[in-house]
Amino acid sequence: MRMATVTRATRETNISASVNLDGTGVYDVATGIGFLDHMLEQLSRHSLMDLTLRAEGDTHIDFHHTTEDSGYVVGEAVSQALGARKGIERYGHAYIPMDETLSRVAIDFSNRPYLIWKVNFTRDKLGEFDTELFKEWFQAFAQSAGATLHVENLYGENNHHIVESCYKGLARALKAATAIDARQADSTPSTKGVLGGSL
């Protein structure tokens, strides 16, 4: 089992997350932010990655720190669970339709963090959640997971559908990229023999 637990404690947040990349999509998430919980539950369920997460943050100020730091913690847990990344498919992608919306997500667990974010919202908030914070979560996840991550909403009207399709896209792409290829189970999926560093 590829599992890891990560804790991040700062003056702004205290967050702990446990993941099992070879799970069945069981989740137990409590961030204090209902919409973020909903998105992390989607991430777990559709990637089949088991996820337990507990977060306490300065939500009396706003949701920024808790959202961003939860991305860091989940990404770091995924990275630790991958270990040396031997045998993984490395690349994954998904097209996710959700009613009128279609989003595309592609990921490379290259150990070269990078985010391309082409997602626009027509509302500043979903409930009490600032829509600009979704980019912050994906940026933090890509950085700490060591992933090149491209997220693009191709079209859509409903802002809830747009962001949910992005999280589900990440889930499916993550599931594909972290799968073990039996033909290269003991080797690193790179001609360099290592992941990360220069191209």
Q: What does the alpha-carbon distance between residue 78 and residue 194 come to, in Å, rounded to a whole number? A: 18
Count of structural domains, the chain? 1
- Provide CB contacts within 8 A for 142, sequence distance 6+: 75, 113, 114, 115, 148, 149
Residue 193 covered by a domain:
no
Is 199 within a domain?
no
Range of the domain at 156: 3-184
Is position 197 within any domain?
no
Tokens of 8: 């991040």
Query: What CATH number does the domain containing 58 carry?
Result: 3.30.230.40
Domain assignment present for residue 155? The answer is yes
Residue 189 lies in a domain: no
pLDDT exceeds cutoff 50 at 128: yes
Rounded-to-integer distance, Cα 104 and Cα 94, Å? 6
Confidence at 167, pLDDT banded by 50, 70, 90? very high
Q: Tell me whether residue 63 is in a domain.
A: yes
Residue 191 is assigned to a structural domain of this protein: no
Residue-wise pLDDT for 97-127, tens only, equals: 999 999 999 999 999 999 999 999 999 999 9
In a domain, 146, yes or no: yes
